Amino acid sequence: KAGVTQTPRYLIKTRGQQVTLSCSPISGHRSVSWYQQTPGQGLQFLFEYFSETQRNKGNFPGRFSGRQFSNSRSEMNVSTLELGDSALYLCASSPGTSGGRSTDTQYFGPGTRLTVL
């Protein structure tokens, strides 16, 4: 099976812009989670989607949003970018046996490296 794919792999934006990142889960997986990884804060959970609905949400401002499509593919959007949003954004997929409760084993993609100038 193909693994989790994320596009683009690298992105450079300026403050105030918005960005959309894409994630395609492993075939058959129904749950997609998003994480932000920075040297200062480490790995932090953003949100998880299951059956096109956001099931869990971490402690991030409303500028961070996402959605999931009927084919389980997911997008994450960050509006009004700030310098502190520079990070590696990781997507993870899981079978969804827990119904999007963030208790399943997760399989991570290679990440999108976002740089905000």
Partner 1 sequence: AQKVTQAQTEISVVEKEDVTLDCVYETRDTTYYLFWYKQPPSGELVFLIRRNSFDEQNEISGRYSWNFQKSTSSFNFTITASQVVDSAVYFCALSDRDRSGGSYIPTFGRGTSLIVHP
Contact residues for partner 1 (CB under 8 A)?
A: 33, 35, 42-45, 55-58, 88, 90, 92, 98, 101-103, 105-111
For residues 73 and 101, which CB has a smaller minimum distance to partner 1 in the complex? 101
85's enclosing H/E stretch is none
Measuring CA to CA, which residue among 7, 26, 14 is closest to residue 108? 26
Give min distance, CB of 45 to partner 1, in A: 5
Shortest Å, Cβ 103 to partner 1: 5
Q: Give CA–CA dist 31/24, Å, rounded.
A: 11
In the bound complex, what is the minimum distance in angstroms from residue 52's beta carbon to partner 1?
Answer: 17
- Toward partner 1, which CB reaches closer, 57 or 63? 57
**Shortest gap between Cβ of 18 and partner 1 (angstroms)?**
24
CB nearer to partner 1: pick between 96 and 109? 109
Nearer to partner 1, 9 or 15 (CB): 9
Cβ-count burial of 84 within 10 angstroms (0-12 exposed, 13-18 middle, 19+ buried)?
A: exposed
Q: How far apart are CA 88 and CA 51, in angstroms?
A: 25
Phi first, then psi: give them for residue 84, nearest 5 degrees: -70, -5
